[in-house]
Copies of this chain bind each other. A is one copy, B any other.
Amino acid sequence: MVGKQKHRYTLYYVNARGRAEPIRLVLHYLGAEFDDTRMEMDDLKAVIEKKAPMKQAPFIEVDGGKLVLCQTTAICRYLAKSIQPELWLAGATKTLSAKCDMVVEGMYDIYNDVMRYNYEKDATVKEELSQRYWDKGKLRLEFLERILETSKGDYFLGKKLHWCDLFVFGNMGSMLDVDNRMFSATPHMRKFYLRMRNLPELKPYIQKYWPKPEFNS
């Protein structure tokens, strides 16, 4: 996309996948050039203090600060509509957009529970959160699995990729770091994960920044 790109994007986060990864995947999938600013935590804190709309990362600057956005889902949806709009990555109809949003929010519920467990320091609370993400997570993953299973194509909404696919895939990567049993009962999601890793738009980036896949089928 280099050369005809209309806007400049600078993404700020630490050098980890986390909540920035779905944004990076949307940008890579759309072939957009962007500054993938991966900072040390202390340096990031200083930048957040100065520039971030809600004092949190990830956040993105468009055209050097003409627009500054935070919140992963808001940023992904914006980029999905803005870069190569003819691909309709955020859904070509109101119904597809709503289904895309629904998959995203369903996955985010699971991811948020897992990450809350991951960062908790108090042992008692951590144990409670572990139980929660495991019980609720399993139940919720079943529904995502069902959507993929009954999809009439390789993606959540059928034959066409939407940003919910990139969002789910990005979160799966981080969740596997925390608990590699998570997707043991979801074979369609495992296959989806491996397929997404090999998309030509994503593969060079994945090979450089992601660890090897935790499962093979």
Contacts and interface: CB of A to CB of B under 8 A. Distances in A.
A102 B71 contact: yes
A139 interface: yes
A97 B125 contact: no
Contacts of A143: 53-55
A94 interface: yes
A76 B69 CA distance: 21
Nearest to A102: B74
Contacts of A82: 94
Interface of A is mostly: helix
A105 B55 contact: no
Chain A interface size, as a band, is 20 to 34
Contact of A98 (B54, B78, B99, B140): B78
A25 interface: no
Nearest to A120: B128
A180 B106 CA distance: 30
Nearest to A54: B143
A6 to B, nearest CB: 12
B74 A94 contact: no
Contact of A101 (B71, B122, B124): B71
A112 to B, nearest CB: 8
Interface string A69-94: 11101110110011000000000001
Nearest to A112: B112
A73 B122 contact: no
A81 B74 CA distance: 16
Contact of A125 (B69, B75, B104, B125): B125
Given A54-B140, A71-B105, A74-B101, 5 more contacts: A70-B102, A71-B101, A73-B101, A78-B97, A78-B101
17 contacts: A54-B106, A54-B140, A54-B143, A67-B95, A69-B98, A69-B102, A70-B106, A74-B101, A74-B102, A74-B104, A77-B101, A78-B94, A78-B97, A78-B101, A81-B94, A81-B97, A112-B112
